[in-house]
Structure 1
């Protein structure tokens, strides 16, 4: 086969050109990312039980869903969070590489089987199943520079005008809004007026459900119609209402004679408000909506980033007055910088290799042949990477950098052997054939040896194996292509380009050759002496192996080193039960501390969000500090800034505030460091779990490998709560329906989703709840009434009492068991492996 290509150099060149063209065509199609896809595919199941406590949500919503989902094909583990805002979020993690679409369908089928066990109001609100990419690529901040646009309007402008166009961009998997306040028709009830007029909250619910309903009125003259009917006309009737005034006119009780008709406006007020007021976001002290853009798995992050920026610039042209946007959070900047550094290294390595080859071969003719082999092998490798589903990332690109020194070896062997045959007096064509008869076997053998070194790495299990899979196979592929070139293109070029030549007379080459010759003689003499004491050499070698093993076992271990990615996190938690207003005050202090640091450009905070659990929590907040470009920081790194702000955050009173580097691989964890789950395998309850977790933390903080100040758990069971102890016997004696009692509590204190209304071409919820002043204190329960079977109004305070207690703010599960998450970082001077 080799002689076939030697005798047909044009054909050999054509094959090489085809490989290069294939690589060049595939290059722009390859996804660009920081790392290979190593994060497990995630499917998230979400549901809401308005007004329910975390424990009630866990018992009635999360647990039935988890029991059905458990064991779905491909699942490796499952975690969930049930929160006091009534939300239930279940995250199902699948094997790395498992098809995410199939996973989502399987989970959806399991969820459908569980819906019959869920409360009716949960099914009414819907149970959603979504594919999730935990890698947040960039976020758009929508804000009002002059403060003329409120947060509700900003949030809904983002929902109506930004989310859908951004979702249609190639590579975008999902768009989420942090600090969202989606429209809802909020009906705020006055319990005093309701009680005075003999009306209950359930009456209001029924009136809205009856009078705000979509009507299909039919058609006049529709088929079948009498003979001679000339026209048809659709009949429309206003059933579903659309503005607060129409809702205010809803009739609760019709009046006749002297009794006036009772309307909704008589017992409360209606406004176009927000569905939830559980969180708020700010950027540099300006209210903002945080529109997070998450990529599809395997998409080109850089291309998606550019497309999002272009789309936002286009959409901004139609922004109303008082609305502007910015892109503060953008992880692709680090990806771009990393890829730029790798490309620079690639070029430097290429030039160094060519320079070294020229220094030793000392002829441009002999240098060109191995120099051609390098780009042919590397570029052709891109085509195979595309076929295997690889991406251009720092790991695969470093594999190409390392391959530069390997792919040139075979071509050098061919060139040197052909030159030796030329020195023996053979013609170029004959010399090429004679040389290849000698080196074809060794080239194949060395390629097989290199493949045997790198290919097994691709089969390592787990995240580590997935991380280095592309690295190993990229090198193996490039070396295999290099071997093919050395058997086809390189000998053909040798036959065409090489000629017999005399030793170079250039003074630098002569000096180099003389020095290299002396070094070779010294090396040969040293080898001869060592052969005479070979047992001593073997003993030294054995000692070296023992020392290597001993040092290997003592070197600190870790997953990946911490890198300066251009941003870091800060989280804070206030005392249990703290209001959102108090949390926003702490958020303001944190923003001022971070903004004052050199190197910090923007600070985005989300109050009411537990960043580690993704649960809405009034006493928690998450902060993103976006740093200036690396060139503008004067050598200051993200880790240094994190260390500088850490004591300042810890000094904030009435809150525990901590700062973290981002995780080494986005999506592997919420923050840098490590994470553990403490599980309640025996079902002893939240208090026992909390006691065990705190005991573990106390002992762990004594370990020198752990940073005691950064070791914590967000799980707590001391959130202030009330138990309403209903006297059921008394309620039945008074002729009460217990369901009416519980519905009254939910409507007044927790809110109730009644039905929907249309606005701006979208569907939004109608929600009823007691006005703010009627649920600000525990004594307000005396203002709540329910009607008995005789038509009398009975206050809830006579049926039971509110008893102060404590409980969990949220109930986490891990693989169906109650769990508590522990987060921490290694102490200075220790690795994450030692800490774990």
Structure 2
């Protein structure tokens, strides 16, 4: 093939131009994201049973749903939570690769089988099924500019007009509105009911019967009598629309003509449907909605579309209302991609400077400089065809590939230059001879480098999704590089290069100084190799010591999944004692708001009172704090988290915890590790809580763990109303009458709907707040007996104080508690997780821990890594065996792998980094890079043997001849990753993680490989029969 393109340079250019055009067309069409779809798809089910305790919701709603969905296909795990707000959430996580839409349809179909068995209140509220990632993409808030618009109007407008529009934006999976829409609130005065001898049941029945929609038909409609000339629709105003109209509902008509209306016993207003949340944006009252993406959606594109839709909606906002993006994770995604793109440009510049230093001719340097961008553009075209995106992982793959894709062109150009200088050949003749010498090496290197990446594409789970991004971007870049090295590069060499003076290396200045120094290095290296090939025994002892050091160093590396980044924001969770009111929570939140105002690097803080990722209630709050741009602030997000933690240590009550967002949004809501403590033998809620407390106590004594805690709402006081059923029966009071009265008075009863501004909204009945603040208020309520007599509840009820769970959680059908924590400073997450597993063994039998979310993926990734590296090693060996038609010679190449890993392990230890997914990617890449240098020496040694040289002389000559291209290509790759090693700011932790190991590995792999490979080859060849050499 190279000979064809040497004679047909235009043909080579045409192919290259087609690749460039395809790449330029593809780049604008490729979606941009920080990560691809990494998390397994999940489907969430939301249910509501207002007024019920968490245990009742769990028993009557959650357990029925779980029993049905447990049989769904490809379920990885499912967890559920029911809290004191009357809401329940069941999240089903499916195995990677499952179609999220089909999974959602399957869940919806299964729910139909259980809906009829749910309590009536839960059925009327409905089951909502949505597929969305767990973390928030962004939070949109609405505020009154001048205070002229009250909270009710803001909340209602958000729920009616903004949230539905955002839900329709492509990529949005769920819009969680923290503002409640309006409702017709009917506040009953129990004393007035008693005065009129009217029960709560009579009130709801009157509303149901007098607030109805009527469809009377048409006047004169067919079939009509002969002569009918007109047909018109009939309209009956059956549904009431105003508080005044509802006040006129007749509860009782007396014989004397007097009437008792709803207005006589109740205060009626258009109020809020619920009052569970209070929003503070920058310390001012607001309303807000959180946006969660559909699984696999693109964060940047979704955020951009949401912003565009909000800009359109802002044109029709009512007077006095403005919107704001109070929290957005997309800017970090954009900055991360830009930083990696900058790193890519810096890597290319450094690589080309190295080529100029070695080749010392603009024409020679120009050829690799032309070929490298073409290979990258071709990679973009293939990525579009395969449905990939421009993300941090694919861009990292290209950064790593830069130092590799120039290798083939460098090898070609350097060999052509050597032949022109030493043999006086013309550029065309030198190119022909050079390609005949190195085509095999180029093909061999390409096969090795692509083969070593193949196992990464076979990994499963989230780690497999990460590995595949690297695999595609690097393998495709390398393949394009090899093709261009055999097509465009020889064509350019033959046409662009000019004959050179054999003494051209005798230069003055920097190049002359460099050449003289490198010649001395080559002479010293050749002399050293000559001595080593006669001292193979000692050399192998040193090698064995290196292998032992590698094994020990790797085993002591701290393990982790992915690095935690400074994403420009952090979250703060506030949890007060279970009985705390919203007012007490507001006091603690105010302290945090004051702290935020003193921090110059904070630009905005949005607090949602009543909300928490682990449970909602009046005693909870969650703050989302955004920082200035990375270049505009002096501190990091860790500094802000520590400052907030220190400031809130003075809070008068409750637990306040500030934390960074998770490294991968789709795999959780906060940083650190998460797990579930399961009760697998039904010990009971009290025993489960005691086991959790025991594990927390053990964790607090461990030096490896930090901030270990039980998530969710704590147990809290409760009043149990015990019905004396015998006495109730004797008094003629039905149990359902008691239930209806309590639900409608203390809780609330959703009766039916009323039309308002083109939308149906709820009619809700509830007792006035002042009549349900104390236990005695409840006991003073009255119910109707069968005889019509009013019976006070205190006659048939007794109140007992007790402590109950304010949240009930289950995991895979077992009662469970959610726990989370972090590794202590300087301790890896892997060691911290090992510690938790060891501590869990001390718990009573029947309790077990299960990892979930990102922690589960970390465990799975750690289990796959040894298999992947072993498989990569095996694949490279088989490729080399096929290339050399030998089972033994490839060993001389593969023995260099530990030499590269040595430097990687040392570098990561020195910087205090961890053995995470990105480090493992670097190690697998090092297998191929280390083998590549060995291939160059082995290939030339075999050729010199075929030319008639003795084994030792051939090895020494091959080492001497290939030293310059090995050092040049290795130095090009090493300096190409320097921008990753020294990166700072956004996405720097990830860049450091992958760059540091490769930097150290390439240094040790190059320095030690050029020393040991000649010895390896000599020993292996001597072990086989001469006829096989």
Interval containing the TM-score (normalised by the shorter chain): over 0.9
Q: Mark the CA change 1:716 to 1:135 in structure 2 (over 3 Å): closer, same or farther.
A: closer
Report the 3-state secondary structure (helix = DSSP H, G, I; strand = E; otherwise coil) of the residue aligned with 2:553. helix
Report the Cα distance in structure 2 between the residues aligned to 1:17 and 1:246, rounded to whole angstroms: 76
Paired residue for 2:644?
645
Residue 110 of structure 2 corresponds to residue 110 of structure 1: yes
Report the Cα distance in structure 2 between the residues aligned to 1:222 and 1:430, rounded to whole angstroms: 98
**TM-score, with normalisation over the residues of structure 2?**
0.78
Report the 3-state secondary structure (helix = DSSP H, G, I; strand = E; otherwise coil) of the residue aligned with 2:611. strand
* Equivalent residues of 1:144, 1:286 under 8 A apart: no
Report the Cα distance in structure 2 between the residues aligned to 1:364 and 1:602, rounded to whole angstroms: 52
Report the 3-state secondary structure (helix = DSSP H, G, I; strand = E; otherwise coil) of the residue aligned with 1:96. coil
Paired residue for 1:780?
777
Alignment map for 1:144-155 (pairs within 5 Å): 144-155=144-155
Report the Cα distance in structure 2 between the residues aligned to 1:716 and 1:686, rounded to whole angstroms: 14
Paired residue for 2:331?
333
Instruction: Please give the per-residue CA displacement for 1:425-457, whole angstroms capped at 9, x wherever unaligned.
Output: 666555544443433332222111011212212
Q: Mark the CA change 1:143 to 1:621 in structure 2 (over 3 Å): closer, same or farther.
A: same
* Equivalent residues of 2:645, 2:658 under 8 A apart: yes
Paired residue for 2:744?
747
Report the Cα distance in structure 2 between the residues aligned to 1:506 and 1:313, rounded to whole angstroms: 64
Report the Cα distance in structure 1 between the residues aligned to 2:311 and 2:784, rounded to whole angstroms: 57
Q: Name which of structure 1's ranges 199-208 and 59-68 shifts more when overlaid on structure 2.
A: 199-208
**TM-score, with normalisation over the residues of structure 1?**
0.95
* Equivalent residues of 1:252, 1:264 under 8 A apart: yes
Report the 3-state secondary structure (helix = DSSP H, G, I; strand = E; otherwise coil) of the residue aligned with 2:571. strand
Residue 804 of structure 2 corresponds to residue 802 of structure 1: no
* Equivalent residues of 2:50, 2:748 under 8 A apart: yes
Paired residue for 1:131?
131
Alignment map for 1:325-364 (pairs within 5 Å): 325-364=323-362
* Equivalent residues of 1:414, 1:490 under 8 A apart: yes
* Equivalent residues of 2:20, 2:377 under 8 A apart: yes
Paired residue for 2:246?
247
Structure number with higher helix proportion: 2
Q: CA deviation at 1:88?
A: 1.1
Paired residue for 2:906?
none
Residue 542 of structure 2 corresponds to residue 549 of structure 1: no
Report the 3-state secondary structure (helix = DSSP H, G, I; strand = E; otherwise coil) of the residue aligned with 2:98. coil
Instruction: Please give the per-residue CA displacement for 1:738-790, whole angstroms capped at 9, x wherever unaligned.
Output: 11211111111111111122222222221111111111111012332221221
Alignment map for 1:61-100 (pairs within 5 Å): 61-100=61-100
Alignment map for 1:570-585 (pairs within 5 Å): 570-585=572-587
* Equivalent residues of 2:160, 2:181 under 8 A apart: no
Residue 610 of structure 2 corresponds to residue 608 of structure 1: yes
Report the Cα distance in structure 2 between the residues aligned to 1:606 and 1:716, rounded to whole angstroms: 16
Q: Name which of structure 1's ranges 203-212 and 425-434 shifts more when overlaid on structure 2.
A: 425-434
Report the 3-state secondary structure (helix = DSSP H, G, I; strand = E; otherwise coil) of the residue aligned with 2:746. helix
Report the Cα distance in structure 1 between the residues aligned to 2:784 and 2:353, rounded to whole angstroms: 93
Paired residue for 1:480?
479
Instruction: Please give the per-residue CA displacement for 1:157-180, whole angstroms capped at 9, x wherever unaligned.
Output: 222332233334444333322x32
Q: CA deviation at 1:532?
A: 3.2
Residue 757 of structure 2 corresponds to residue 760 of structure 1: yes
Instruction: Please give the per-residue CA displacement for 1:313-366, whole angstroms capped at 9, x wherever unaligned.
Output: 343343333322222312122122222211111111111112211222222222
Q: Give the aligned CA root-mean-square deviation in angstroms.
A: 2.0
Report the Cα distance in structure 2 between the residues aligned to 1:429 and 1:513, rounded to whole angstroms: 25
* Equivalent residues of 2:131, 2:295 under 8 A apart: no
Q: Mark the CA change 1:430 to 1:544 in structure 2 (over 3 Å): closer, same or farther.
A: closer
Q: CA deviation at 1:116?
A: 2.0
Paired residue for 1:193?
192
Q: Mark the CA change 1:6 to 1:254 in structure 2 (over 3 Å): closer, same or farther.
A: farther
Q: CA deviation at 1:259?
A: 4.2
* Equivalent residues of 2:220, 2:232 under 8 A apart: yes
Q: CA deviation at 1:290?
A: 2.1
* Equivalent residues of 1:595, 1:603 under 8 A apart: no
Q: CA deviation at 1:69?
A: 0.6
Report the 3-state secondary structure (helix = DSSP H, G, I; strand = E; otherwise coil) of the residue aligned with 2:116. helix
Give the aligned length: 829
Report the Cα distance in structure 1 between the residues aligned to 2:118 and 2:10, rounded to whole angstroms: 72
Report the 3-state secondary structure (helix = DSSP H, G, I; strand = E; otherwise coil) of the residue aligned with 1:50. coil
Alignment map for 1:238-387 (pairs within 5 Å): 238-256=237-255, 258-387=256-385
Q: CA deviation at 1:420?
A: 5.0
* Equivalent residues of 2:570, 2:660 under 8 A apart: yes
* Equivalent residues of 1:715, 1:808 under 8 A apart: no
Residue 725 of structure 2 corresponds to residue 728 of structure 1: yes
Alignment map for 1:404-415 (pairs within 5 Å): 404-415=402-413
* Equivalent residues of 1:690, 1:715 under 8 A apart: no
Report the Cα distance in structure 2 between the residues aligned to 1:331 and 1:499, rounded to whole angstroms: 54
Q: Mark the CA change 1:269 to 1:528 in structure 2 (over 3 Å): closer, same or farther.
A: same
Q: CA deviation at 1:688?
A: 1.3
* Equivalent residues of 2:573, 2:656 under 8 A apart: yes
Paired residue for 1:206?
205
Instruction: Please give the per-residue CA displacement for 1:673-729, whole angstroms capped at 9, x wherever unaligned.
Output: 11121111112221111111101111111101112xx22113566311111111112
* Equivalent residues of 2:157, 2:181 under 8 A apart: no
Residue 559 of structure 2 corresponds to residue 563 of structure 1: no
Paired residue for 2:537?
535
Instruction: Please give the per-residue CA displacement for 1:525-567, whole angstroms capped at 9, x wherever unaligned.
Output: 2222333332222112211221221122222222222221111
Report the Cα distance in structure 2 between the residues aligned to 1:668 and 1:427, rounded to whole angstroms: 60
* Equivalent residues of 1:44, 1:90 under 8 A apart: yes
Alignment map for 1:161-200 (pairs within 5 Å): 161-177=161-177, 179-200=178-199
* Equivalent residues of 1:183, 1:273 under 8 A apart: yes
Report the 3-state secondary structure (helix = DSSP H, G, I; strand = E; otherwise coil) of the residue aligned with 2:823. coil
Instruction: Please give the per-residue CA displacement for 1:619-667, whole angstroms capped at 9, x wherever unaligned.
Output: 1111112112222222x11112212221221221121111112211113
Paired residue for 2:525?
523
Paired residue for 1:823?
820
Instruction: Please give the per-residue CA displacement for 1:267-319, whole angstroms capped at 9, x wherever unaligned.
Output: 11211111211121101210122222333444443343334334333433433
2:393 aligned residue (387, 392, 395): 395
Q: Name which of structure 1's ranges 300-309 and 109-118 shifts more when overlaid on structure 2.
A: 300-309
Q: Mark the CA change 1:370 to 1:715 in structure 2 (over 3 Å): closer, same or farther.
A: closer
Report the 3-state secondary structure (helix = DSSP H, G, I; strand = E; otherwise coil) of the residue aligned with 1:825. strand
Instruction: Please give the per-residue CA displacement for 1:493-524, whole angstroms capped at 9, x wherever unaligned.
Output: 23332332222656433332222111111111
Q: Name which of structure 1's ranges 420-429 and 112-121 shifts more when overlaid on structure 2.
A: 420-429
Report the 3-state secondary structure (helix = DSSP H, G, I; strand = E; otherwise coil) of the residue aligned with 2:755. strand
Paired residue for 2:667?
668
Report the Cα distance in structure 1 between the residues aligned to 2:419 and 2:554, rounded to whole angstroms: 47
Report the Cα distance in structure 1 between the residues aligned to 2:127 and 2:360, rounded to whole angstroms: 72
